Amino acid sequence: MSKKYFAEPFKIKMVEPIAVLTDEERLERIETANYNLFSLNSDDVYIDLLTDSGTGAMSAEQWAGIMRGDEAYSGARGYRNLVKSAQDIFGYEYIQPVHQGRAAEKVVMPILLGPGKFAISNMHFDTTRAHVEIAGARALDCVVEEALDTTTHYPFKGNMDLEKMESLIKEHGAENIGVIIITVTNNSAGGQPVSMENIRETSKIAKKYGITVLIDAARYAENSYFIKEREDGYQDKSIKEIAKEMFSYAEIFTMSSKKDAIVNMGGLIGVKDDSDLFENVKANTIPYEGFISYGGLAGRDLEALAIGLQEGIDYNFLKYRIGQMEYLAERLAEGGVPFQTPAGGHAIFVDAKKLLPHLKYYEFPGHALAVELYKEAGIRSCDIGSYMIGNDPDTGEQLDAGFEFTRLAIPRRVYTQSHLDVVADALIAIKDRADQVPGYKIVWEPKILRHFTAKLEPIK
């Protein structure tokens, strides 16, 4: 077995100590947190894989940009640098900063959608779905069937099911489909990529029916890397060339820049051409996010984002990053731990349904494994399964998500191979005593987005 990934293409200049608690301390902390990982203090976490969003390490160049930041209300230097940097990658004429991804969704969705309308996506991220619904519309997911079988090695499990998409357009009427959203990579399916061919074909069908195509670009650089590695005809193209082609098939994008642009806070909206769309984006941005030249961000943040965008498409960085996922995946496969294969771009989705077959969906296998991982080694992860999906809004009944994942999201440029070994060793140790892992029951929950604040207890 190749016990290595492409080494970190950076060296460490500044370090942040992390706590190593005893077994007893961790048991006490998780009980006090009512077995909710969101309620833990981060000081009590050894390896934090809760999310890859806003948790990356900025470079020396980005920190230098922070110091150079121009805090002018209007026309700041950082804004101009950001627009230039983003235009260079995406090839879009209009670039609008906002404070994070969901802010971009809040600005854009009411422009494209309204009551009676539908958004179709390979898969909506939960905030995207929320903003579709807040705009009065309904969100329809349309991912290929291959995504649902975690054991098969399909190279583009994030793809849109084109036939299903076209039949949904016919069923609801093209005039009622406000937008087609392509999420790259497909986070909810396990950080799985979407092929260029699939993006091109999606765009062709959308054009035929006169429907706007939007890219949810949070992890576009990782998606571009997968296209380069896996799709015929792209091996000799640069990440930037691939990204430009991807975006040429859409009219607009929203982006959480907290992922592939490696900033702790930030987001973007891009509009391809001079159009009403951009005027509407501006009109919504000013009341929601602030003046167009800062969009909810400090001047210094604009500068860090301008630099981070370029660092995020560096081939060696992406090779190292995806290599980390592949390394962890290889160790887990070797140890017999089931997960969504192949490895995703930003995370490994451990298949808790398979690992803990004695737990029913209403005993929350994905959450049970996440708690166990904290108890075992101080690792924080999260449930992507029935615990997160919650209750049917009409009946109040617990929904069966169909999949039960524990997501190990890897922050960018933060952890080393040794940390990944701790994660693999802990999961393998849990696998060996999997039948003793208890399920959980909720003893208190709020009405919406309950997984952030619910209180739980192990089932005796």
Residue ranges in contact with ligand F0G by CB under 6 A: 51, 53, 100-102, 125, 127-128, 183, 187, 216, 218, 256, 258, 267
Min CB(1)–ligand F0G separation in Å: 30
100 or 434: whose CB is closer to ligand F0G? 100
Distance set, CA 133 to CA 118, 137, 179, 277 (Å):
9, 5, 13, 20
224 or 363: whose CB is closer to ligand F0G? 224
Distance set, CA 254 to CA 71, 184, 278, 281 (Å):
24, 11, 13, 11
Query: Catalytic one among 88, 126, 421, 425?
Result: 126
216 counts as catalytic: yes
55 or 203: whose CB is closer to ligand F0G? 55
73 counts as catalytic: yes
Query: Catalytic one among 73, 274, 283, 392?
Result: 73
207 counts as catalytic: no
125 counts as catalytic: yes
Q: What is the C-alpha separation between 190 and 368, in angstroms, rounded? A: 19
Min CB(157)–ligand F0G separation in Å: 15
Specify the 3-state DSSP secondary structure of 208. Answer: helix
Min CB(232)–ligand F0G separation in Å: 26
Min CB(2)–ligand F0G separation in Å: 29
Query: Catalytic one among 99, 117, 228, 259?
Result: 259
Of all residues in the shown chain, the one whose CB is closest to ligand F0G is 101
Query: Catalytic one among 329, 370, 451, 454?
Result: 451
Q: What is the token pair recorded at 125?
A: 């991220």
Q: What is the token pair recorded at 421?
A: 């070994």
Distance set, CA 150 to CA 16, 23, 147 (Å):
36, 32, 7
CB 137 within 8 A of CB 113: yes
Q: Beta partners for 179?
A: 119
Query: Catalytic one among 216, 260, 301, 351?
Result: 216
Min CB(188)–ligand F0G separation in Å: 8
126 counts as catalytic: yes
Crossing angle of helices 239-248 and 196-209, in 10° steps, is 20
CB 149 within 8 A of CB 353: no
259 counts as catalytic: yes
- Residue 422's region, left for phi above 0, alpha for psi from -120 to 50, else beta, is alpha
Min CB(210)–ligand F0G separation in Å: 25
Q: What is the C-alpha separation between 55 and 414, in angstroms, rounded? A: 8
Min CB(384)–ligand F0G separation in Å: 9
Q: Which of 310, 307, 346 shows the shortest CA–CA distance to 61?
A: 307
Query: Catalytic one among 46, 118, 125, 278?
Result: 125
431 or 450: whose CB is closer to ligand F0G? 450
Q: What is the C-alpha separation between 397 and 107, in angstroms, rounded? A: 33
Which residues have CB under 8 Å from 210's CB, separation 6+? Answer: 174
Q: How far from each other are the two terminal CA atoms of the chain, in whole angstroms? A: 40
36 or 256: whose CB is closer to ligand F0G? 256
Burial (0-12, 13-18, 19+ Cβ within 10 Å), 160: buried
CB 122 within 8 A of CB 183: yes
Strand segments (E) across 129-225: 138-141, 177-183, 213-216
48 or 363: whose CB is closer to ligand F0G? 48
101 or 178: whose CB is closer to ligand F0G? 101
Min CB(218)–ligand F0G separation in Å: 4
180 or 437: whose CB is closer to ligand F0G? 180
Query: Catalytic one among 76, 147, 218, 306?
Result: 218
Active site amino acids = 73, 125-126, 216, 218, 259, 451
